[in-house]
Amino acid sequence: MTGKIIGTGSYIPDTRWDNNVLAGMMDTSDEWIRERTGIVSRHIADKSTVSEMACEAAKKALEDAHESDDTFSADDIDVIIVCTLASDVLLPAVSCLVAEKIGASKAFCYDLNAACSGFLFAYNTCVSYMNSGLVKNALIIGAEKLSDQVDWSDRGTAILFGDGAGAAIVKATDGNAHMVMHSDGSRYDALTLLTGKKMYMDGQKVFRFALKSVPEVIEELLLGADMKKSDVDMYVLHQANKRIIEGVAKRLGEDMEKFPMNLSEYGNTSSASIPILLDELKRGGAIRSGMNIVMAGFGAGLSWGAATITV
Ligand code: ACO
């Protein structure tokens, strides 16, 4: 059994801050941010919360799933997992609120925090449930309001992040699931958000970790799946930094055309970045049924992983 993505949705807040807005707030420039990160703008959830964005993305994913299969409804969803590193709602889980808003009364619900690896970990978790026979359909969501969590005077960190939410409906389908997940708590202090504090990041440490671990975990995945790199049509990576994605492509010896990116518009939206990108690719027709897609996430923990996904 594997998990086929049958519906996607996303929510992007209207307020858009380009790099020049940040240059008015701290000692930075559009040129520096573009050159070092590839980021041009980020969207700021000044009027919405994490839970509201999660609900909006979920509604759209459900509509999308219903469009491709008009018998599919919220009642078919067996589990809802919301990935977030800091929500406006701590109790109960945001996923319970999503279930209520979309009418998924049969789903069991919980939230998952694996930072920027969250969506990848949630996908692997729901596919594992599918293989155990526990669930047939899952709704997984990444939703983040990082503008509340960064220190807007810390130019080394604040310039990277943005807000938004993305969601996917995953259906159990015949096929083999391939997944790899890792964490290394000995490096937990590279990227932290302690209660009552703002986000702290050792940018270079995280950069070096990503450049080494992401190609390695993709190689590990392909080896386990008995796949060659030439079998992969597309790599959907966590959208952290253009230089990281280019470095991963180079180390894998793969063409940059296989690595779609949207971080120039949204910045790093942590667990929301992969589902927002999947939604854009699916709606834009870049993802077609039968393609071999590799998804990879990496972030605080440190945590990282990869999976083959079916669309
Ligand atoms: N504008 C202008 N100058 C800056 C800025 C800025 N926004 N930020 C740092 N600088 C300066 C530094 O002070 C330093 O100046 P100095 O040489 O006079 O001391 C110089 O630029 C170089 O700083 P570095 O930190 O070496 O810059 P680097 O090239 O490493 O880029 C960056 C920093 C963009 C943060 C990079 O390290 C990076 O992308 N790291 C990965 C971060 C990441 O992806 N984190 C998310 C992981 S996912 C998750 O779980 C959230």
Integer Cα distance of 41 and 19 in angstroms: 6
- Kindly report the CATH number assigned to the domain that includes residue 269: 3.40.47.10
Q: Kind and range of the H or E element at 200?
A: strand 200-201
- Cα 232 to averaged position of ligand 1 atoms, centre (Å): 31
What is the per-residue pLDDT across 242-253, written as a single tens digit (0 to 9) for each?
Answer: 999 999 999 999
pLDDT band, very low/low/confident/very high, at 287 (cuts 50, 70, 90): very high
Active site residue 116: yes
> Do 205 and 244 sit in the same domain of this protein?
yes
pLDDT band, very low/low/confident/very high, at 133 (cuts 50, 70, 90): very high
> Do 70 and 164 sit in the same domain of this protein?
yes
> Do 155 and 78 sit in the same domain of this protein?
yes
Integer Cα distance of 205 and 148 in angstroms: 23
> Do 116 and 262 sit in the same domain of this protein?
no
Which among 153, 173, 193 is the end of a domain? 173
- Cα 204 to averaged position of ligand 1 atoms, centre (Å): 7
Mean pLDDT confidence for 150-166: 97
pLDDT band, very low/low/confident/very high, at 233 (cuts 50, 70, 90): very high
> Do 200 and 165 sit in the same domain of this protein?
no
pLDDT of residue 216: 98
> Do 9 and 137 sit in the same domain of this protein?
yes
In the chain, what percentage of residues exceed pLDDT 90? 97
> Do 187 and 115 sit in the same domain of this protein?
no
> Do 138 and 6 sit in the same domain of this protein?
yes
Which residues make beta-bridge pairs with 15?
Answer: 44
Check if the beta carbon of residue 13 is closer than 8 Å to that of residue 46. Answer: yes
Which among 142, 173, 204 is the end of a domain? 173
- Cα 274 to averaged position of ligand 1 atoms, centre (Å): 22
> Do 211 and 162 sit in the same domain of this protein?
no
> Do 195 and 158 sit in the same domain of this protein?
no
Instruction: Please state the domain count of the chain.
Output: 2
Structural domain range at position 48: 2-173
Could you identify the atom of ligand 1 that is nearest to the CA of residue 116? 50
Mean pLDDT confidence for 197-213: 97
> Do 129 and 231 sit in the same domain of this protein?
no
Q: Kind and range of the H or E element at 293?
A: strand 293-299
90 or 76, higher pLDDT: 76
In the chain, what percentage of residues exceed pLDDT 70? 100
Mean pLDDT, the chain, as a whole number?
Answer: 97
